Amino acid sequence: MTSSTKRARCAGATLAELVVVLGISAVVLAVAAPDLHALVTAQQIRAASGELLGAIAHTRAQAIARNGRVKLVPRDPNGADWTQGWTVFVDRDGDRQPGPGDEILSVHGPLPPGVRVDFSFTQSAPPHYIAYNGAGRSCSETNGNASRLGTLSLFHGEHIRRIKINMLGRVRLCNPERDDGCEGAQAPP
């Protein structure tokens, strides 16, 4: 036999070798699966909190640029569930809901399944909203000079992130596991 024929006969794996490799792969995957789930939930809450933080910053920037009041509201018809997504808009008709006469600035879709949001502001009864005035301060929807501060808490499994808005309207993202001054609602059962 020539050397090229010998190489062609030896190239490949036997069925026994393939079964061993598949068995080892299955064991490694079974060990890594719980860690993979925790990694996915941690990434989902980081992404959700970052997107909501970005929407709040966008609301504030638009209020300053327009020198007028701009609102961020949940897309939930009852105005209470932030997991359904949110809308940034200029409420020209004053009805607290984005509509035909309003200027819609951005819309965000629902958060991943399993993410929960708790809203705790100076006026926490629905409808929930975040409003900024032309000076970039968080305000009431009826009074542009009344500051409205509070915390949005996001929960996903054992992970928690909080978005805090102070009385000047400045916003920050914190993790209660490692950041001081990151108090907020307790994790749901």
170 — phi, psi (to 5°)? -75, 145
- pLDDT tens readout for residues 36-91: 778 888 899 999 999 999 999 999 999 999 999 999 999 998 888 999 999 999 98
Residue 112 lies in a domain: yes
Residue 181 lies in a domain: no
CATH number at residue 69: 3.55.40.10
Residue 183 lies in a domain: no
Residue 82 lies in a domain: yes
pLDDT value of residue 10: 60
Tell me: pLDDT of 5 over 60.
Answer: no
- Could you tell me if 144 and 136 are in contact, meaning their C-beta atoms sit under 8 angstroms apart? no
CA distances to 10, 24, 27, 69, 138 from 15, in Å: 14, 14, 19, 70, 67
**Helix boundaries (H) for the chain:** 3-10, 15-66
**Distance between alpha carbon 58 and the CA centroid of its chain, in Å?**
14
Q: Give the global pTM.
A: 0.80
How many CB atoms are located within 10 Å of the residue 70 CB? 24
Residue 61 lies in a domain: yes
What's the per-residue H, E or C state across 142-161? Answer: CCCCCECCEEEEEEECCEEE
Residue 27 lies in a domain: yes
- pLDDT tens readout for residues 116-137: 999 998 877 777 899 999 999 9
| Number of separate domains in the chain | 1
Q: Output the CA angle 122-59-145, nearest 5 degrees.
A: 45
> Count H helices, E strands: the chain?
2, 9
Residue 6 lies in a domain: no
3-state secondary structure of 173: strand
Domain enclosing residue 56, as ranges:
16-174
